[in-house]
Amino acid sequence: MDALARLLALSAAEKEMRGLVHTPREILQQSATWRRTYQKFLQLAPSIKEFLIQAGLNGSAQTSPQLTVLLVGAGTSDYIGKSLCALLQKQWRCEVQAVPSTDLLTNIEEHVLPERSYLWISFSRSGDSAEGVAVLKAALERYPEVRHLIVTCNDHGKMACSFNDRRNVFSIVLDDEVNDRGLAMTSSFSNMVIVGQALAHLRDLETYGTLLDDLASTASQVLLAAADVCERLVHEGFSKVCFLGTGPLKGAATESALKVLELTDGRVMSFSESFLGLRHGPLSAIDRDTLVVSFLSGDERRRAYELDLVKEIFDKRLTAKRVAVLPTRMRDSAVFGLEGDTIVLGFQHPIADLYRPPVDVLVGQLLGLFASLREGLKPDAPSPQGVINRVVSHVTIH
């Protein structure tokens, strides 16, 4: 029995006692829920397309030069935007930026320029985050011409319920099963990323549906093997984790780092960086007790840069604790020479890095889960002093 299955097989009473009622199940369910989220999106697609055309998105494959898209969220919801930014910009052929709602709350006027059309896509699990709701209210009052697409997992949240009467607001509310009850967002994150990827392919959803099947199949197959590797790495021990990724995989790395930090109540320090960015200072934080997790690109040229950095860490003997996540079994001689563990995702067809964040992030979620247990914490509620909470709702709005 694999490491994740052992947790799921515990009795209801033991799950309750150890804080394992929600988080393991929410990690496991992801591949199945992606397909249901996609079917829900297909049902809404005609209305979404009409709304986006009104917002300024060209209905054909032509560019939309006057449209600027802001991907808005805080924490994990911000990292959804960072994981989607490049894909949406490529497919929609307009400017797309990921801007934290926490930045917009204090500096909204710096992000809205006159004589430009804006579409804001706001991501929120609960739809009740104080900053997220306040930013939406402020934008609607100060910039009524901006259109807003809300993606949330809670049909009772303020974002889903408070703005339905606005002509410039459209809400996509996902099924309650992906409204994660655990403190750390897992299936909420990946399912909202799936919605963003579907949005990018709104003009060609059939193509994306085929790609999604490969993502879901790969995730379900690799999850159990990855769980065993992650449990063993946690058992072997580390005090810090560094997640590395390039482009959209940096978004997955950033979210992975947050998962470890949240689920261990900050007892395991974690950080993320791009491979090339690591040399510009953060490399100094890597020591013998640091686990380095490399989300390696499927693009040969990008991967060459990444493997140079991995080799440098090895040559400098900074740490022997390393795991590389590969899209498929590679033929690069440099890959064959990798020291440390490897997790091969094993996509059936070539999958661009643009689509990989929902799958790669599973490694960060699993490391966070098992590290939480190692620290004697309850993964469903890993902050015993209440330093962080499932919903950030106590912010004073000025």
> Can you spell out the DSSP letters for 223-258?
HHHHHHHHHHHHHH--SEEEEE-STHHHHHHHHHHH
Phi, psi of 118 (to 5 degrees): -125, 140
The answer to whether residue 36 scores a pLDDT higher than 70 is yes
Q: Are strands 240-244 and 269-273 parallel, antiparallel or unpaired?
A: parallel
Q: What percent of the chain has pLDDT over 90?
A: 84
As a whole number, mean pLDDT of residues 307-313 equals 93
Burial 60-94, CB ≥16 within 10 A → b, else e? eeeebeebbbbbbbbbbbbbbbbbbbbbbeebbbb
As a whole number, mean pLDDT of residues 82-94 equals 96
pLDDT at 208: 97
Q: Per residue in 233-255, pLDDT tens?
A: 999 999 999 999 999 999 999 99
Give pTM, 2 decimals: 0.96
The answer to whether residue 325 scores a pLDDT higher than 80 is yes
Token digits of residue 353: 């890095």
pLDDT, mean over the chain:
93
The answer to whether residue 272 scores a pLDDT higher than 70 is yes
- Residues with Cβ within 8 Å of 366's Cβ and at least 6 positions away in sequence, in order, are 4, 27, 223, 226, 227, 230, 231
Domains of the chain, start order = 3-18+208-375 (3.40.50.10490), 22-204 (3.40.50.10490)
Nearest to 245 by CA among 364, 152, 344: 364
As a whole number, mean pLDDT of residues 307-314 equals 93
- Residues with Cβ within 8 Å of 107's Cβ and at least 6 positions away in sequence, in order, are none
Q: Per residue in 184-229, pLDDT tens?
A: 999 999 999 999 999 999 999 999 999 999 999 999 999 988 999 9
The answer to whether residue 307 scores a pLDDT higher than 90 is yes
pLDDT at 350: 86
Q: Per residue in 131-147, pLDDT tens?
A: 899 999 999 999 999 99
268 with 261: CB under 8 angstroms?
yes
pLDDT at 338: 65
Q: Per residue in 336-358, pLDDT tens?
A: 456 668 888 888 888 999 999 99
Q: Are strands 322-326 and 240-244 parallel, antiparallel or unpaired?
A: unpaired
pLDDT at 63: 64
pLDDT at 391: 82
Query: Which amino acid is it at 245?
Result: G
As a whole number, mean pLDDT of residues 383-397 equals 84
Nearest to 102 by CA among 83, 118, 79, 85: 79
Token digits of residue 394: 């106590």
Which pLDDT band holds residue 335 (cuts at 50, 70, 90)? low
Token digits of residue 329: 């079994």
pLDDT at 343: 87
The answer to whether residue 334 scores a pLDDT higher than 60 is no
Q: Which residue did the predictor score with more confidence, 392 or 293?
A: 293
**Considering Cα of 247, then 251, then 256, then 257, what sign does the dihedral take?**
positive
Alpha carbon distance 303, 361 (integer Å): 18
Whole-Å CA distances, 68 to 55, 251, 355, 376: 10, 20, 22, 46
287 with 318: CB under 8 angstroms?
yes
Q: Per residue in 52-78, pLDDT tens?
A: 999 999 766 566 678 999 999 999 999
pLDDT at 289: 97
Residue 103: how many CB atoms within 10 A of its CB?
16
174 with 151: CB under 8 angstroms?
yes
DSSP 3-state of 65: coil
Token digits of residue 204: 């060609």
Residue where the block lists tokens 């499932």: 390
